[in-house]
């Protein structure tokens, strides 16, 4: 009888612990700033905004990806409309500067990899290159 009672107590503790974990994760997603409705949206393409062909990445360098809602124009320019998650100001400024100078190659449009219009994109950058 004592064994059954001990098992029931352990089961009850596990259920309470699981309910507490679920409760805290749902409340944190409600207060997430800069969500912008990006949850569940998949990115159409991954663009390297600061990497050029022929330039080598330093050994052991970190590459970060930022998901954005952007408008792609038919001439290859990109305008960032919003960031899906709140980024540090330095990162946002760096990405906006790099995107202003970035153009998408014609081959990407010709191969239907990316189409002009509003869409979600992932922009990759190397944090070591932020000055």
Span 14-68, pLDDT tens digits: 778 777 665 443 333 333 334 455 777 888 888 888 777 667 777 888 888 999 9
Measured CA angle at 52 (ends 46, 53), to 5 deg: 100
Separation between Cα atoms, residue 126 and residue 62, nearest integer Å? 6
**Where are the chain's structural domains?**
1-31, 45-129
Residue 62 CB-density burial (10 A; 0-12 exposed, 13-18 middle, 19+ buried): exposed
């Amino acid at each position: 009888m004592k064994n059954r009672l001990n098992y029931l107590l352990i089961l009850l503790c596990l259920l309470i612990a699981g309910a507490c974990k679920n409760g805290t994760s749902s409340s944190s997603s409600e207060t997430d700033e800069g969500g912008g409705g990006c949850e569940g949206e998949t990115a159409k393409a991954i663009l390297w905004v600061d990497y050029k062909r022929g330039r080598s990445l330093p050994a052991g360098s970190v590459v970060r990806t930022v998901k954005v809602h952007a408008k792609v124009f038919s001439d290859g320019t990109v305008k960032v409309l919003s960031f899906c998650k709140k980024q540090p100001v330095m990162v946002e400024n760096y990405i906006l500067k790099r995107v202003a100078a970035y153009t998408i190659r014609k081959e990407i449009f010709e191969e239907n990899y990316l189409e002009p219009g509003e869409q979600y994109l992932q922009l990759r950058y190397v944090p070591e290159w932020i000055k």
